[in-house]
Amino acid sequence: MAYKISEECVNCGSCEDECPEKAIIEKDNFRWIDPAKCKDCGSCADACPTEAIAQA
């Protein structure tokens, strides 16, 4: 299962910088994970200051 970003996201961009698959993009003032690209590595979740990222 891919990781997902919740409404706790404050759009800081840390997760996008950490993602080795370039699966995270900015969308409507939040970040969004493309489930087709996400490889479930967890790096984004570790980098998120608001704990907005979790495995779905």
Q: Between the CA of residue 4 and those of 18, 36, 46, 50, what are the distances in Å?
A: 15, 12, 13, 13
Three-class SS state of 47: helix
Of residues 1-56, which lie at the interface with ligand SF4 (CB under 6 A)?
Answer: 3, 5, 9-15, 18-19, 21, 23-24, 31, 33, 38-44, 47-50, 52-53
Of 28 and 50, nearer to ligand SF4 (C-beta) is: 50
Size of the site for ligand SF4 (CB under 6 A): 29
Structure tokens at 24: 């995270």
Q: Which residue carries 């370039």 as its tokens?
A: 22
**Interface with ligand SF4 (CB under 6 A):** 3, 5, 9-15, 18-19, 21, 23-24, 31, 33, 38-44, 47-50, 52-53
